[in-house]
Amino acid sequence: MSQSAPFRLLPSLDELLRHPVIEALVQREGRSATIAAARASLEQLRTDITAGKLDEAQTKSRLDELPRKVEQRLRQSLAYSLRPVINATGVILHTNLGRAPLSRAALEHIAEVSQGYSNLEFNLDTGERGQRDVHLDRLFAKLLNTAEREVSTIVVNNNAAAVLLALNSLAEGGEVLASRGELVEIGGSFRIPDVMAKSGAVLHEVGTTNRTRIADYESAVSERTKLLLRVHRSNFQIVGFTEQPSLEELVALGRKHNIPVMEDLGSGEIFDLRNVGVRGEPMIADSLRAGVDVVTYSGDKLLGGPQAGMISGDRELVAKVRANPMFRALRVDKMFYAALEATLLAYLREDYDSIPALRMMRLSEDVLERRAKQIADRLLVSCPSLRIEVVESRSVLGGGAAPGSTLPTRVLAVKSASHNADELCARLRQWETPIIARVEAGRVLLDLCTVEPQQEEAIVVALESVSQ
Ligand X SMILES: *Cc1c(COP(=O)(O)O)cnc(C)c1O
Least distance CB 157 / ligand X (angstroms): 8
Return the number of the residue (297 or 347) whose C-beta is nearest ligand X. 297
Under the binding rule (CB under 6 A), the answer on residue 159 touching ligand X is yes
User: Which range binds ligand X by CB under 6 A, 136-144, 229-237, 241-249, 356-364?
Assistant: 229-237
User: Which range binds ligand X by CB under 6 A, 118-126, 158-166, 216-224, 252-260?
Assistant: 158-166
Which residue's Cβ lies closest to ligand X? Answer: 266
Under the binding rule (CB under 6 A), the answer on residue 400 touching ligand X is yes
CA distance 55 to 23: 28
Return the number of the residue (59 or 168) whose C-beta is nearest ligand X. 168
Bridge partner list, 414: 388, 444
The correct pick among 59, 234, 343, 416 for binding ligand X (CB under 6 A) is 234
Return the number of the residue (260 or 309) whose C-beta is nearest ligand X. 309
CA distance 455 to 452: 5
Contact by Cβ (8 Å): 458, 433? yes
Return the number of the residue (262 or 436) whose C-beta is nearest ligand X. 262
Instruction: Name the pairing type of β-strands 190-191 and 185-186.
Output: antiparallel
Least distance CB 287 / ligand X (angstroms): 12
Least distance CB 160 / ligand X (angstroms): 3
CA distance 409 to 88: 12
With contacts defined by CB under 6 A, how many residues of the chain interact with ligand X?
15
Return the number of the residue (301 or 443) whose C-beta is nearest ligand X. 301
Under the binding rule (CB under 6 A), the answer on residue 309 touching ligand X is yes
CA distance 332 to 72: 37
CA distance 265 to 287: 9
The correct pick among 231, 262, 273, 435 for binding ligand X (CB under 6 A) is 231
Bin 442: left if φ > 0, else alpha if -120 < ψ < 50, else beta.
Answer: left
x-or-dash pattern for ligand X, window 348-387, by CB under 6 A? ----------------------------------------
Under the binding rule (CB under 6 A), the answer on residue 321 touching ligand X is no
Q: Calculate the alpha carbon distances from 417 to 302, 413, 424, 427, 443 in Å.
A: 40, 14, 10, 14, 11
Least distance CB 418 / ligand X (angstroms): 41
Other Cβ atoms within 10 Å of 120 Cβ, number: 15
Least distance CB 44 / ligand X (angstroms): 42
Least distance CB 234 / ligand X (angstroms): 3
Least distance CB 363 / ligand X (angstroms): 24
Return the number of the residue (158 or 393) whose C-beta is nearest ligand X. 158
Return the number of the residue (165 or 363) whose C-beta is nearest ligand X. 165
Under the binding rule (CB under 6 A), the answer on residue 390 touching ligand X is no
Q: According to CB under 6 A, which residues from 179 to 218 bind ligand X?
A: 184, 186, 190
CA distance 355 to 103: 5
Q: According to CB under 6 A, which residues from 14 to 73 bind ligand X?
A: none
Contact by Cβ (8 Å): 284, 298? no
Under the binding rule (CB under 6 A), the answer on residue 269 touching ligand X is no
x-or-dash pattern for ligand X, window 64-103, by CB under 6 A? ----------------------------------------
User: Which range binds ligand X by CB under 6 A, 155-163, 196-204, 212-220, 281-289?
Assistant: 155-163
Under the binding rule (CB under 6 A), the answer on residue 264 touching ligand X is yes
Return the number of the residue (103 or 158) whose C-beta is nearest ligand X. 158
Query: Which residues contact ligand X by CB under 6 A?
Result: 158-160, 163, 184, 186, 190, 231-232, 234, 264, 266, 298, 309, 400
